[in-house]
Amino acid sequence: MQTTLVFIPGLLLTADLYAHQTDALKGEYSIHHAETRGMDTITAMAERALDETSGKILPIGLSMGGIIALEIARIGKDRLSGLVVMDSTAGADTEARRAERIKEIKILTSLMQNPEARVKFKGITTQLLPRFIAPQFLDDTVLTKRIMDMAAVIGQDNFILQQTALLNRHEQLDMLKNFDLPSMFLVGALDTLTPPPLAQTMAETAPNSRYVEIPDVGHLPPMEDPEAVTKALKDFLDEITV
């Protein structure tokens, strides 16, 4: 049976994150887009991806999606043909990042008491975009609109659920030490949210892995340099013959 590629979006992102990759690969592979809404644990998101597919799968996740992919590897390794993690981490939040998540949840929960706040929620604003994409893409109105539109689709309720899930996630470096299936850890060279050393650590920990760094892009390589990411995926998939 052919392996199904399971694409998993990150926090405040949707399947549009992988539009270029899925369009390029759909003729060769079965594609499934994992659902990340309506759940407040990473394990629940991972279990849903496993439940909604059959046979062998290969999780492909970015940021929170990468964390979900690692959880799928932890609880469902027997179902996997390999693993792709992009711009993510196998570790816990720093104390500063954890405090930031808690603050965001509290503020948004409070704002939700005001009906007008639901209309105003944008998730990713123009002020936040520099954390997601490299400086040269900030004037790309088509790209920035796609990013902000994804956040609007996810909405504030799911944002709170996703942040809660991230707060309570498992650390996965110990799991990766024994993860001997083919794996690829990809990262944007200019990513400040999950910088390259985090991907390098995962690649050095997993025994059958490769590290890929995409130059001149930030936290969203599949959208910033879609051709390079698609090529990296194709090369990896061709070599492991899933």
222-236 pLDDT, tens digit each: 999 999 999 999 999
Mean local confidence (pLDDT), 22-27: 96
Summarize pLDDT for 174-194 with one digit per residue, the tens.
Answer: 999 999 999 999 999 999 999
Mean local confidence (pLDDT), 108-116: 71
Check residue 117 and give its pLDDT: 55
**CA 124 centroid distance within chain:** 16
What three-state secondary structure class fits 115? helix
Predicted confidence (pLDDT) at residue 119 exceeds the cutoff of 70? no
Identify whether the C-beta of residue 138 lies closer than 8 Å to the C-beta of residue 36: no
Mean local confidence (pLDDT), 4-22: 98
Check residue 92 and give its pLDDT: 84
Predicted confidence (pLDDT) at residue 82 exceeds the cutoff of 90? yes
Check residue 109 and give its pLDDT: 78
Predicted confidence (pLDDT) at residue 219 exceeds the cutoff of 90? yes
% of residues, the chain, pLDDT over 90: 80
Identify whether the C-beta of residue 130 lies closer than 8 Å to the C-beta of residue 138: yes
Distance CA 140, CA 138 (A): 6
Predicted confidence (pLDDT) at residue 203 exceeds the cutoff of 90? yes
All domains in the chain, ordered by first residue: 4-93+167-240 (3.40.50.1820)
Check residue 207 and give its pLDDT: 96
Number of Cβ within a 10 Å radius of residue 143: 17
User: Alpha-carbon torsion 228, 232, 235, 238, what sign?
Assistant: negative
Summarize pLDDT for 121-153 with one digit per residue, the tens.
Answer: 667 778 889 999 999 999 999 999 999 999 999
Report the predicted TM-score, pTM, of the whole model to 2 decimal places.
0.93
- Ranges of beta strands (E only) in 35-118 are 57-62, 83-86
Mean local confidence (pLDDT), 23-34: 96
